[in-house]
């Protein structure tokens, strides 16, 4: 087992390793390097394939290593039917995508970087679906958002690509934060940090008062990632990315992460009213919105993108529907969708690559020029349309089987599903048949079959959709059943086969196909109808995004202008108001004002004299209207303080204060000769009163606090120690000086550092003259350390 654990770990990181090598491989071997790089996902794919029998027998494979033990977080994976199916899709389609990219991006100067990002994404996505611990899931979840940002913005010189990248980052980033909060809620509610252990606490979770909060937060993550209405708008815009990205991230894998999460949580959080209302509702709305939007488009990729959104809605709806077989239907549809949608996207890219256009209106009659592509497209479209023999048919049958119950809710969603599927059928045929059938239309590039690297992938995927349908027993044994069991949280058997059974589901399938054909034949009229419908609804959330971003920026500018107004006066006013509050609120709140002091009768006459002199000095400074008065008054209060120090036994202090005051006055005089002191302090009366109120409040606060602090007992053991040992141990009779140079000498060391730096800083201030400003450009210093 240990070997298997290490091997699984290696397989999880192989894409990342390949990503780091990608630029080098492409640089060395050109597009052929993609063969080399594809080995990494291929190896992982084979490894996961070997695990299939175990999983099919109902086992779950776990493994992992300590990662952040202090947070009770391990790097651990949990492979059951659900995870393994995803892992196979990711590595399998991933291998094909790497090869496809080799052809699609051939000769692109940034091809190495592109493959690097694709492989990084693959590593992230793989980690996401195998993660067992919550935080590991979150880390990988965000990694997929980040790599998706890089890939959507790959064509970064176009504004639309940049916008789409930011949009995806913002929407999925917001969802990611919501997910994080939800996961931490789960952690707090259950004390469990691993998904696989959640099963043990399920009822506790559902009965918790925070269930709904946690659910909404988690849905915030899942819905944004899986492009559910009203967060869907980023997905079609993400089609700005090169087509391999659309095929891989935005149809087959990343957008399904939300669905994955919901499926993963279904056993522990499902089957509650909230779950069974929210999921089908949003899923259903997304399904309808997606198909209507898809019909409206003429761009191949956009049509596919909107049907992807619709399919995701269908998956969410099924996951949350709560009826027997709904989960099986979801599992089947998920696999089928990955196969046919991946293939169709690659076909779209191939057409675009070879013909220079992907607008259905400009395409036609390509079947001769591109026969293999046509075959692949047709097979994929048939699967998407849900025609017998194809895997998509099985999925559709199962869906109708699950929904056909007769109660009102089921009927409602059945109608939604049939309508949605019919429209998807139409779009599938529009994408797969329109460009190939009919008369040949001249395209910007001369159309011919694409290179092997590019048709191989879609052909294989489309063929797989057929084989999986024909050999459904094998597919069910190894994929559908284990996956459905994992999603349902209990053993479930999928046994639907491609041989049609007479019954309600078949009838519904036929209705779907007929409806779909009708729409397909009238596609232009349907498109016009969709356009009119959407116009009637008005602008969607996509336009809103621009307004939201611009609005946020404007809002932030407005807020910042208020909180950072750029005026020192306001800064100081706020600071002093806070100071006054700090000093006055606690004594009042706690009702502990100092004792009312008695009149100080012990103060001597000359002491009063100097106190009053100090006050006079203060008053004179306040009133000073010219330089000389200000300097002299400042000197007066300073010298009064010095004398007060002397009167109360502080000789050293007094000396120093005298010297410092003298020097202050001298340098003040030196500088002030150049400075103008405005004759009056221009404050309007209101301002004056306001400032005075703050000042007085601060003064009172300090006084009250000092009174209170000094009214308590005083512990003077420090002083006693100094007094005792100053002479006998430290050899100094002047205790103050001994404290300065010995007992607390380190203070002095810091203090002289301050003095020294002040000297230098003043020197720098006076001597350094600003160079004439060239621009705000940081001039580099090319001159070294000479002179």
Partner 1 sequence: METVFSVLIGFFFAAAVYLMLSKHSVRILLGIAIFGNGVNLLLFTAGRLTREVPPIIPAGMDTLPATAANPLPQALILTAIVISFSFFAFLLVLTYRGYQELGTDNTDEMRFAEPKDEPLPPLGY
Partner 2 sequence: MNTVILRTVAPPITALMLVFSVFVLLRGHNEPGGGFIGGLIAASALAIYGIAHGVAAVRLAIRFHPMAIAGFGLLLATLSGFVSIFAGVPFMTGLWIYPSLFGVEVPLATVISFDIGVYFVVVGAIAGIALTLEGREED
Partner 3 sequence: MAAPTTAPIDLSAAYLMAPTALADWLVIAPIGLMILLGAVLMMVRHRLHLHGWIAIPGLAALVLLDGMLLWRVVHHGPFTMTAGRWLPPFGISFTADLFGALMAFVAAVVALAAGIYALRDIDASGRRYGFFPFLMLLMAGVTGAFLTGDIFNLYVWFEVLLISSFGLLILGSEREQVDGALKYAILNLLGTTLFLIAVGYLYAIFGTLNMADIARQAGDYHGTAPLMTLTALFVLAFAMKAAAFPVNFWLPASYHTPRIVVSALFGGLLTKVGVYALMRVMVMLFPLQREDLSLVIAVSAALSMVLGALGALAQSDLRRMAGFAVIAGIGNVMAGVAIGGPTGVSGAILYALHSIVTMTALYLLIGEAARVGGSWSLQTLGGIYRKAPWVAASAFVIFFATAGLPPFSGLWPKIVLLKAALDIGAWWLSASILFSAFILTLALGRVFLLAFWRPQPAGAAVTVTTGTVERSAPLVGLVAIIVFFGLFPELPVRLSQEAAIGLADPTAYIQSVFPTGGAE
Instruction: Report in angstroms how near the CB of residue 449 gets to partner 3 at its nearest.
Output: 34
Show contacts with partner 3 in window 547-576 (CB under 8 A).
Answer: 549, 552-553, 555-557, 559-560, 563-564, 566, 568, 570-572, 574-575
Nearer to partner 1, 28 or 158 (CB): 158
Per CB under 8 A, does 536 bind partner 3? no
Per CB under 8 A, does 272 bind partner 1? no
Per CB under 8 A, does 751 bind partner 3? yes
Per CB under 8 A, does 740 bind partner 1? yes
Per CB under 8 A, does 157 bind partner 1? no
Show contacts with partner 3 in window 163-192 (CB under 8 A).
Answer: 165-166, 169-170, 173-174, 176-178, 180-181, 184-185, 187-188
Per CB under 8 A, does 201 bind partner 1? no
Residue 591: which of partner 2, partner 3, partner 1, none does it interact with, CB under 5 to 8 A by kind?
A: partner 3
Nearer to partner 3, 539 or 748 (CB): 748
CA gap 117, 113 in Å, rounded: 6
Nearer to partner 3, 569 or 626 (CB): 569
62 phi/psi in degrees, rounded to 5: -120, 160
CA gap 79, 465 in Å, rounded: 24
Binding stretches for partner 2 (CB under 8 A): 651-652, 655-656, 659-660, 662-663, 666-667, 670-671, 730-734, 736-738, 740-742, 745-746, 748-749, 752-753, 755-756, 758-760, 762-763, 766-767
CA gap 349, 235 in Å, rounded: 17
Burial 585-615 (b: 16+ CB within 10 A, else e): eeeeeeeeebeeeeeeeeeeeeeeebbebbe
Question: Of 394-402, 412-420, 483-491, 704-712, which part binds partner 3 (CB under 8 A)?
Answer: 704-712
CB 362 within 8 Å of CB 441: yes
Question: Of 178-186, 237-245, 408-416, 753-761, which part binds partner 1 (CB under 8 A)?
Answer: 753-761
Binding flags for partner 1, 286-305, as an x/- string (CB under 8 A):
--------------------
Show contacts with partner 3 in window 705-724 (CB under 8 A).
Answer: 705-706, 708-710, 712, 714-718, 721-722, 724
CB 378 within 8 Å of CB 343: no
CA gap 350, 356 in Å, rounded: 9
Residue 638: which of partner 3, partner 1, partner 2, none does it interact with, CB under 5 to 8 A by kind?
A: partner 1
Nearer to partner 2, 577 or 672 (CB): 672
Which DSSP symbol is given to 715? -
CB 115 within 8 Å of CB 22: yes
CB 271 within 8 Å of CB 322: yes
DSSP 193-238: -BHHHHGGGHHHHHHSTTHHHHHHHHHHHHHHHTT-TTSTTHHHHG
DSSP-derived 3-state class of residue 501:
coil
Nearer to partner 3, 185 or 229 (CB): 185
Question: Which run of H or E residues covers position 283?
Answer: helix 273-296
75 phi/psi in degrees, rounded to 5: -90, 90
Q: Cα separations (Å) of 660 from 191, 332, 432, 644, 740?
A: 64, 87, 91, 15, 17
Instruction: Report in angstroms how near the CB of residue 762 gets to partner 2 at its nearest.
Output: 5
Per CB under 8 A, does 675 bind partner 3? no
Show contacts with partner 3 in window 125-164 (CB under 8 A).
Answer: 135, 138-139, 142-143, 145-146, 149-150, 153, 156-157, 159, 162
Residue 118: which of partner 3, partner 1, partner 2, none does it interact with, CB under 5 to 8 A by kind?
A: none
Nearer to partner 1, 379 or 735 (CB): 735
Residue 666: which of partner 2, partner 3, partner 1, none does it interact with, CB under 5 to 8 A by kind?
A: partner 2
Q: Specify burial of residue 420 (Cβ count, 10 A radius: 0-12, 13-18, 19+).
A: buried
Question: Of 365-373, 524-532, 533-541, 667-675, which part binds partner 1 (CB under 8 A)?
Answer: 667-675
Question: Of 3-11, 245-253, 522-530, 706-714, which part binds partner 1 (CB under 8 A)?
Answer: 706-714
Q: Cα separations (Å) of 680 from 46, 625, 668, 685, 686?
A: 87, 6, 19, 13, 16
CB 41 within 8 Å of CB 157: no
Question: Which run of H or E residues covers position 679?
Answer: none
Show contacts with partner 1 in window 563-622 (CB under 8 A).
Answer: 564, 566-569, 572-573, 576, 579, 597-598, 600, 602-603, 607, 611, 614-615, 618-619, 621-622
Instruction: Report in angstroms how near the CB of residue 572 gets to partner 3 at its nearest.
Output: 7
Contact with partner 3 (CB under 8 A) among 56, 529, 579, 650: 579
CA gap 462, 478 in Å, rounded: 19
Per CB under 8 A, does 625 bind partner 1? no
Residue 707: which of partner 3, partner 2, partner 1, none does it interact with, CB under 5 to 8 A by kind?
A: partner 1
CB 401 within 8 Å of CB 496: yes
Residue 274: which of partner 2, partner 1, partner 3, none does it interact with, CB under 5 to 8 A by kind?
A: none
CA gap 53, 528 in Å, rounded: 51
Show contacts with partner 1 in window 37-76 (CB under 8 A).
Answer: none
# residues contacting partner 1 (CB under 8 A): 108
Per CB under 8 A, does 641 bind partner 1? yes
Nearest to 576 by CA among 700, 693, 687, 694: 694
Contact with partner 1 (CB under 8 A) among 9, 463, 529, 549: 549
Instruction: Report in angstroms how near the CB of residue 220 gets to partner 2 at its nearest.
Output: 57
Nearest to 146 by CA among 44, 59, 254: 254
Nearer to partner 2, 400 or 645 (CB): 645
Residue 602: which of partner 3, partner 1, partner 2, none does it interact with, CB under 5 to 8 A by kind?
A: partner 1
Angle subtended at Cα 502 by Cα 501 and Cα 503, rounded to the nearest 5 degrees:
110
CB 198 within 8 Å of CB 263: no
Per CB under 8 A, does 70 bind partner 3? yes
CA gap 38, 248 in Å, rounded: 14
Nearest to 234 by CA among 254, 209, 215: 254
Nearer to partner 2, 718 or 756 (CB): 756
CA gap 784, 34 in Å, rounded: 46
Instruction: Report in angstroms how near the CB of residue 488 gets to partner 3 at its nearest.
Output: 30
Instruction: Report in angstroms how near the CB of residue 116 gets to partner 3 at its nearest.
Output: 11
Nearest to 293 by CA among 363, 356, 229, 350: 229
Per CB under 8 A, does 737 bind partner 3? no
CA gap 207, 271 in Å, rounded: 12
Residue 662: which of partner 1, partner 2, partner 3, none does it interact with, CB under 5 to 8 A by kind?
A: partner 2
Nearer to partner 3, 184 or 616 (CB): 184
CA gap 578, 573 in Å, rounded: 9
Per CB under 8 A, does 668 bind partner 1? yes
Instruction: Report in angstroms how near the CB of residue 503 gets to partner 3 at its nearest.
Output: 49
Nearer to partner 3, 589 or 675 (CB): 589
Per CB under 8 A, does 671 bind partner 3? no
Show contacts with partner 3 in window 5-64 (CB under 8 A).
Answer: none
Cis omega (within 30 of 0) for bond into 671: no
DSSP-derived 3-state class of residue 341:
helix
Show contacts with partner 3 in window 587-606 (CB under 8 A).
Answer: 587, 589-592
DSSP-derived 3-state class of residue 65:
strand
Question: Which run of H or E residues covers position 68?
Answer: strand 61-68
């Amino acid at each position: 087992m240990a070997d298997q654990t290490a091997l699984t770990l290696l397989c999880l990181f192989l894409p990342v390793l390949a990503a780091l090598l990608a630029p080098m491989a492409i640089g060395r071997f050109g597009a052929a390097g993609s063969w080399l790089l594809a080995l990494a996902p291929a190896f992982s794919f084979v490894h996961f394939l070997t695990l299939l029998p175990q999983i099919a027998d109902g086992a779950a494979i776990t493994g992992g290593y300590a990662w952040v033990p202090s947070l009770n977080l391990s790097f651990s994976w949990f492979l059951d039917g659900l995870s393994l199916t995803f892992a196979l899709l990711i590595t399998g389609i991933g291998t094909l995508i790497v090869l496809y990219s080799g052809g699609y991006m051939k000769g692109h100067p940034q091809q190495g970087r592109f493959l690097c990002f694709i492989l990084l994404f693959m590593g992230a996505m793989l980690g996401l679906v195998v993660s067992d611990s919550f935080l590991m899931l979150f880390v990988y979840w965000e990694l997929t958002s980040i790599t998706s940002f890089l890939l959507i913005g790959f064509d970064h010189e176009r504004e639309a690509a940049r916008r789409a990248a930011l949009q995806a980052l913002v929407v999925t980033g917001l969802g990611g934060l919501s997910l994080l909060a939800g996961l931490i809620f789960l952690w707090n509610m259950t004390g469990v940090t691993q998904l696989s252990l959640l099963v043990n606490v399920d009822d506790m979770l559902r009965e918790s008062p925070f269930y709904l909060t946690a659910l909404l937060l988690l849905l915030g993550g899942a819905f944004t990632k899986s492009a559910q209405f009203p967060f869907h708008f980023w997905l079609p815009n993400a089609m700005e990315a090169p087509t391999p990205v659309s095929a891989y991230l935005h149809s087959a894998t990343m957008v399904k992460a939300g669905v994955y999460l919901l499926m993963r949580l279904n056993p522990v959080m499902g089957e509650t009213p909230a779950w069974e209302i929210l999921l089908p509702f949003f899923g259903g709305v997304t399904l309808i919105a997606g198909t209507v939007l898809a019909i409206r488009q003429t761009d191949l990729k956009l049509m596919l993108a909107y049907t992807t959104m619709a399919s995701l809605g269908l998956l969410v709806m099924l996951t949350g529907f709560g009826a027997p077989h709904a989960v099986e239907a979801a599992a089947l549809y998920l696999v089928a969708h990955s196969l046919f949608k991946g293939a169709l996207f690659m076909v779209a890219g191939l057409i675009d690559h070879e013909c220079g256009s992907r607008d259905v209106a400009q395409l036609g009659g390509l079947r001769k020029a591109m026969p293999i592509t046509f075959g692949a497209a047709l097979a994929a479209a048939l699967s998407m349309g849900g025609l017998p023999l194809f895997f998509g048919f099985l999925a559709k049958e199962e869906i109708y089987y699950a929904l056909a119950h007769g109660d009102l809710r089921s009927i409602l969603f059945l109608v939604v599903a049939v309508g949605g599927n019919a429209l998807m059928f139409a779009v599938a045929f529009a994408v797969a048949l329109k460009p190939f059938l009919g008369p040949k239309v001249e395209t910007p590039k001369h159309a011919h079959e694409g290179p092997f690297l590019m048709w191989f992938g879609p052909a294989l995927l489309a063929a797989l959709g057929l084989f999986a349908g024909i050999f459904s027993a094998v597919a069910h044994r190894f994929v559908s059943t284990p996956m459905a069991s994992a999603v349902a949280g209990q053993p479930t058997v999928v046994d639907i086969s491609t041989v049609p059974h007479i019954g309600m589901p078949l009838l519904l399938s036929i209705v779907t196909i007929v409806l779909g054909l009708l729409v397909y034949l009238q596609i232009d009229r349907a498109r016009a109808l969709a356009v009119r419908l959407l116009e009637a609804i008005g602008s969607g959330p996509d336009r809103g995004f621009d307004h939201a971003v611009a609005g946020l920026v404007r809002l932030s500018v407005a807020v910042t202008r208020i909180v950072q107004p750029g005026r020192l006066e306001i800064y100081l006013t706020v600071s002093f108001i806070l100071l006054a509050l700090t000093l006055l609120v606690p004594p009042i709140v706690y009702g502990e004002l100092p004792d009312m002091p008695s009149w100080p009768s012990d103060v001597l006459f000359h002491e009063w004299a100097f106190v009053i002199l100090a006050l006079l000095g203060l008053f004179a400074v306040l009133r000073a209207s010219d330089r000389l008065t200000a300097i002299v008054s400042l000197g007066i209060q300073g010298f009064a303080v010095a004398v007060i120090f002397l009167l109360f036994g502080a000789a050293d202090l007094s000396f120093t204060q005298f010297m410092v005051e003298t020097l202050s006055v001298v340098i003040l005089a030196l500088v002030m000769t150049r400075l103008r002191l405005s004759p009056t302090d221009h404050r309007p009366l209101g301002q004056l009163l306001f400032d005075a109120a703050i000042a007085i409040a601060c003064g009172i606060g300090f006084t009250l606090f000092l009174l209170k602090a000094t009214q308590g007992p005083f512990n003077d053991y420090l002083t006693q120690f100094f007094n005792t040992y100053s002479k006998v141990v430290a050899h100094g009779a002047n205790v103050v000086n001994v404290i300065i140079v010995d007992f607390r000498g380190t203070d002095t060391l810091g203090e002289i550092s301050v003095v020294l730096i002040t000297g230098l800083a003043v020197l720098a201030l006076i001597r350094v003259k600003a160079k004439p400003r060239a621009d705000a450009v940081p001039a580099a210093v090319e001159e070294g350390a000479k002179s």
